[in-house]
Amino acid sequence: SEEYQKERERIIEELKRMQEETWQKLNEYVEQYSFGIVRIPGGFMLTPVVKGKPLTDEQFEKLSDEQKEKLRQIRTMLTEQVEKTMRAMRQMERDTRKKLAELDERVARFTIQHPIEELKEKYRDIPEIPQHLDAMMEDMVAHAEAFKLPEEQPTPVPPFVLGAPTPIDNFLNRYRVNLLVDHSEAQGAPVVYESNPNFANLVGRIEHRVVMGALVTDFTMIRPGALHRANGGYLVLEAISLFQRPQAWDALKRALKEGEIRVEEYAQSLGLVSTAVLEPEPIPLQVKIVLSGPAWLFYLLAEYDEDFLELFKVQADFDDRMPRTPEAIQEYARFIATFCEREGLRHFTPEAVARVVDHSSRLVSDQRYLSACFRDISDLLTEASYWAGQNGHDLVTAADVQQAIDEKHYRGNRFEERLQEAIAREILLIDVTGARPGQINGLSVLPLGQITFGAPSRITARTYMGRGGVVDIQREVKLGGPIHSKGVMILASFLGSRYAREEPLTLRASLVFEQTYSMVEGDSASLAELCALISSIGDVPLRQNLAVTGSVNQHGDVQAIGGVNEKIEGFFDACRLHGDLTGDQGVIIPAANVQHLVLRADVVEAVAAGQFHIYPVRTVDEALALLTDLPVGEPDEQGEYPPESVNGRVMAALRAMNERWKALAKGEEEEEESKP
């Protein structure tokens, strides 16, 4: 301002006046002794003066020794006076600089105090902001000189440092505010979803810029993370994505346990940085973390991470299915209508909605439940709307929904088609007519990506005299899993408990899934394996037009299994591959699985027409009654079975093997005794 400039000029002029007066007095004092003060590059020099002119060296040499000594003494005395005067003048300069600094401070404080006070009043509810503003004002006052405009043009920036900040920019950076998060337009607590929860995206990062080949940074290059954005609200993370990022889980736990966010570089957190780096002040953290993921991951963390249950105390276990009630079906219909409206799809007819509901039950393999995995349902709605358009329908019909289901299955069933081709060409041997002892059609389920299908497998059993029990060939060659091996051991226990109460079993048997070259796991074939064993022991033919699935316990009770729909459909398709349905073909299933039946329309139609059959059983005897032309047989009071029953034949065969074993053992003993 003009007032500032006048005051500054007055102070400077006062200094000049005082210095001139002091200099003038010094000259007058020196002249009294016929000396003068001469300026030289290094300062000042005292020299004798004769008739107003400095004494030359030649003139000085012509003087007597007494005159020379006197001049030296005077010079020494005057030198002390000159130095004293010079010190006084330097003190004047210091005093003047102090006055100028006080002027600058006074003017600077007056200039910035009003806006600073306005800001302090505006943000008085946040104690840290007035404190920061006070500190900033004191710093600006202390560095008021730096705010003055340069009187000369700045030095041009060399080409190799173009892009680097200017000195004034560097200085002004100290007063800039690095706004990490802005919630000024938020209506409530922030809810943040972080799809890429790596270390930097969680706790923030410190960016750098290249200046003359070196990486430099400052506090304005601190960037926030998801924890900063969600502070005071909620942060939603996907657990699997979190654990796929190195150090992300540890960083999140550290922030939650300490209640603060520390912005640091990833290498620094690993202790790999030995150079000086920025260490921003930790920010207090108050956030609720919503961690979503599969149930198995929750149980794994609860078991092996001691901090997990301490940090995540509330568990919300969402089911993937819901009861199939009228209310739920109504909600499903509303969901379909809402989804179609939102996505711009064709709306569904009531029959199409019913078909979607049935397919939802099929997804969970249960008549009494509906799928809660709406991603799969949404995909079906989208594809059904597409096929409705291809078929020229304004509304999506049940046929369009079925076409969408069939097309999705077709896109992924290449392996199923190859398997069916192998059955049709008799490369994979499956009998669907006739009867054979020790051979039965088991059923298995093969999940491949989005497609799950069933297929029949020939199971054979061979029995002969011996003491080895039941040999699981799959297990012996390491192609059988532990659950399958458990099922085979249960079979041996059942045989012993039913047929070896009076005499030991002199039986050796082998079981195998024919033409299988991969791992066999599960106990859903144990009923079929037991029937095959009993058939082989008693030489009782088993009907090949029936397939069997089900688990069995040591008491002979048939237990529920999974994939019952796919297994039934797999054998149904195998029967059709061998020609038309004969009317006596079907599948034996556990009675407990009836509630899980949600079959394809063609299978339902064939069953309704009597061309295909589904037989629910509760015990192994019920299954044997269906598989053989003989009665199973019940024991009398002596524990004997009718001779022409399945159990009677088995008992007779086992007794014959036992007698033969005894005879062989007795013959060996007599032979040993007859030896000399």
The DSSP letter of residue 156 is: P
Of 606, 565, 574, 614, the C-alpha closest to 431 is 574
Q: Is 524 a catalytic residue?
A: yes
| Residue 578 structure tokens | 């061998």
76, burial (CB in 10 Å: exposed 0-12, middle 13-18, buried 19+): exposed
371 vs 318, 368, 535, 633, CA distance in Å?
12, 10, 41, 44
What does the chain come to in residues?
676
The DSSP letter of residue 480 is: B
Task: Determine the Cα–Cα distance for residues 238 and 252; give it in Å rounded to an integer.
Answer: 13
606 vs 405, 573, 610, 615, CA distance in Å?
20, 12, 6, 14
Q: Is 567 a catalytic residue?
A: yes
Judge whether 234 and 191 are in contact, CB under 8 Å: yes
Judge whether 376 and 359 are in contact, CB under 8 Å: no
Task: Determine the Cα–Cα distance for residues 445 and 47; give it in Å rounded to an integer.
Answer: 118
Task: Determine the Cα–Cα distance for residues 330 and 649; give it in Å rounded to an integer.
Answer: 57
Catalytic residue among 444, 524, 536, 551: 524
Of 316, 541, 379, 571, the C-alpha closest to 456 is 571
DSSP string, 234-269: EEEEEHHHHHTSTTHHHHHHHHHHHTEE----HHHH
Task: Determine the Cα–Cα distance for residues 596 and 368; give it in Å rounded to an integer.
Answer: 8
Query: Max alpha carbon distance in the chain (Å)?
Result: 165
H-only helix segments in 464-514: 473-476, 482-499
Catalytic residue among 444, 457, 536, 567: 567
- Give the count of beta carbons closer than 10 Å to the beta carbon of residue 341: 10
When computed from its CA atoms, the radius of gyration of the chain, rounded to whole angstroms, is 50
Q: Is the dihedral of CA 378, 382, 387, 389 positive or negative?
A: positive
The DSSP element (H or E) to which 402 belongs, if any, is helix 398-412
| Residue 510 structure tokens | 């082998």
| Residue 228 structure tokens | 């900063």
423 phi, psi to nearest 5 deg = -70, -45
DSSP string, 439-454: EEEEEEEEEETTEEEE
Task: Determine the Cα–Cα distance for residues 250 and 153; give it in Å rounded to an integer.
Answer: 53
310 phi, psi to nearest 5 deg = -75, -35
241 vs 55, 229, 290, 380, CA distance in Å?
94, 19, 13, 27
Residue with tokens 């594809």: 383
Residue 354 contacts by C-beta under 8 Å, 6 or more apart in sequence? 398
Of 258, 196, 195, 262, the C-alpha closest to 228 is 262
Annotated catalytic sites, by residue? Answer: 524, 567
